[in-house]
Structure 1
Amino acid sequence: MPIDTLAHEIGRIARNDGPCLTELPDLTLFRSSLKTEPTPCIYALGLTVVAQGGKQVTAGEQVIDYGPGQSLLTAVDLPVIGQVTRADLARPFLGLVLTLDARALVQAAAEMDRPPLPRDPAPRAISRCETEAPLLDALIRLVRLLGEPQLIAHVAPLIRQEIMLRLLCGPHGPYLRHLLAAGSPSHQIARAMAWLKQNFTGDVRIDDLAASVHMSPSTFRQHFRGLTGMSPLQYQKQLRLQEARQLMLSHDLDAGSTAARVGYESASQFSRDYSRLFGAPPQRDIRRMRHPGEGGVEPAMP
């Protein structure tokens, strides 16, 4: 079966637990011999495929379980909580993440002769579908290409283009095309989310943000929650906390100075929000991230 072939190819390259970076910057393989703890992270625009084992992703109020042969398409940058739910030494979790290029997707969608989008399905920032055999075949060829480094620069762009076209034409297509359609409510919300990602440290007036995408505040909030499963302020808070965690890991900053850098006026409020999201106060969380064996934290799929 194609999914077994993909699992074999991933397992042949990803020999150790955790993310496996490849010669293709947009392709990351993953292996885990153990179930993992729920881990907050941000999914960028991309395709995540489970080849073996199982995973659960929580995005706002949406909880998604998926296993071998199933894929998630994330159409916007979205804070989620991910967890490997099925894995052991005999049959480790195996999967991949392929980051997609937004401009290339927009261009590919514009050049395709597709029927008008239906009102349903309701646009979502993240969708789960069965991965069709032709798409799996393209992903297998992309992974196998890692064994032919002399061909990567010439062949990888062709396979990427095929993958994008199959995504636009396949079960993920309606969700993805809703997000790409200029002027659609989903596209307008995606624009607002992109602005928030660049300006999350400042004070945000939702009324002004809604006006910038030509929506009333109530309509804006409704569409934002419908797409992401969370409110605009919840989205901003998660962006702040994810950035804070990376700052403390990368630059050895204390919680107080980090809180100020990501836009918090109160260090105590920052600590409370941080503990709710990551399950421990900042210093303790960073300590267990740096020494996972002491805190029971296992690597999580990006």
Structure 2
Amino acid sequence: MQEFSVEQSLKMLAEKISEIAQYDGDFTTAVPSLSVHRRNAPTTPVHCIYGIGLGVVIQGSKELVLGGKVTGYRAGQTLLTTLELPVVSHVATATASAPFLGMMVTIEPAALMQTAAMIPFRPAAKSPGFDPLAVNELDAGLADTLRRLLSLNDEPRLIQHLAPLIQQEIIIRLLTGPYGSALRHIASPGSPGQQISGAVAWLKQHFTQPVSIDELASRSSMSTSSFRHHFRSVTGMSPLQFIKKLRLQEARQQMLNSRLDAVSAAIKVGYESASQFSREYSREFGESPQRDIRRLREEISQ
């Protein structure tokens, strides 16, 4: 089998992504859990939910903000997200002649846990602190695996047979590389990271309902104080801050896509006070709900 250097793989990835993404946008591919992205200029910060997966910058650079901490990564680097988290993201470096090019591989938690259970793990003498957004350099082995996964778009008949194998190889390489410790935090049954991961997944489904932190801690088999500590350590924010961000982002989408007014959107996502919703919305997005949605609609129509 021919071996490629990181630089060779990046060049081939850039060519293939440019074929799929010929203009600005986010593009799904024929390969499940794989998307590619292109931007011809730096973008304004966008509030979004990042799922569990591996982001790869092929060209340009990108920045994310979580809990006030800025994480940047550039061409030849990867970003592993190990929880579904509300972040602020923007492309930092891109031009028309050298656009931002990236790809995202979504990782299924069940596949991660099954693969982790098969691979022996020897913890480092000094385990680094858990970071839900971790950046590392792309190595030649992982770069070539990503190249082969993206190349399956040229062989659609083989996707259902080969994509699961290559995706498992990606997980194996992540587990046995620099990301191994972070992934074990959420893949090891009974670990604090795995318990918080479960709490985050539950909150994503129930954040519009009244939430008791005591009940959430009990559901995670932790004391309330321990739950608060581990939740902040893993996500970079308190449980209440996390819930608030989920509610505000959902309300924003409801007003933008379903054309709900601010009061209706506030009630739909779990707010009891419209004035509190307006205050927290303005603090999060920098403008009142009415002005923010009007600006977003004007940007979309341009």
TM-score, scaled to structure 1: 0.92
Runs of 4+ displaced beyond 6 Å = none
CA offset digits 1:264-292 (Å, max 9, x no partner): 01112212222222233223333333332
Q: Which moved more, 1:190-199 or 1:32-41?
A: 190-199
Q: Name the residue aligned to 1:97.
A: 104
Native 8 Å contact 2:35 2:103 kept in 1: yes
Native 8 Å contact 1:40 1:277 kept in 2: no
What is the one-letter code of the residue matched to 1:222? H
Q: Structure 2 regions of 5+ residues with no counterpart? A: 1-6
Question: Is 2:93 the counterpart of 1:86?
Answer: yes
What is the one-letter code of the residue matched to 1:85? A
Q: CA deviation at 1:215?
A: 2.2
Q: Name the residue aligned to 1:300.
A: none
Higher relative contact order structure (alpha carbons within 8 Å, sequence separation ≥ 6): 1
Q: CA deviation at 1:164?
A: 1.2
Question: Is 2:155 the counterpart of 1:185?
Answer: no
Q: Name the residue aligned to 1:62.
A: 69
What SS does structure 1 have at the residue aligned with 2:30?
Answer: coil
Residues in 1 aligned to 2:297 and 2:29: alpha-carbon distance in whole angstroms:
23
Q: Which moved more, 1:83-92 or 1:279-288?
A: 279-288
What is the one-letter code of the residue matched to 2:86? P
Q: CA deviation at 1:117?
A: 6.2
What SS does structure 2 have at the residue aligned with 1:97?
Answer: strand
Q: CA deviation at 1:137?
A: 0.7
Alignment of 1:11-50 (within 5 A): 11-50=18-57
Q: CA deviation at 1:88?
A: 0.7
CA offset digits 1:189-227 (Å, max 9, x no partner): 112212211211122222222232232222221111111
Q: CA deviation at 1:294?
A: 6.8
Residues in 2 aligned to 1:135 and 1:250: alpha-carbon distance in whole angstroms:
38
Partner of residue 3 from structure 1, selected from 4, 10, 14: 10
Identity of aligned residues (%): 51
What is the one-letter code of the residue matched to 1:207? D
Q: CA deviation at 1:73?
A: 0.8
Superposition CA RMSD, Å:
1.7
Native 8 Å contact 2:31 2:150 kept in 1: no
Residues in 2 aligned to 1:287 and 1:146: alpha-carbon distance in whole angstroms:
39
What is the one-letter code of the residue matched to 1:188? Q
Q: CA deviation at 1:119?
A: 5.5
What SS does structure 1 have at the residue aligned with 2:270?
Answer: coil
Q: Name the residue aligned to 2:224.
A: 217
What SS does structure 2 have at the residue aligned with 1:291?
Answer: helix
Q: Name the residue aligned to 2:131.
A: 124
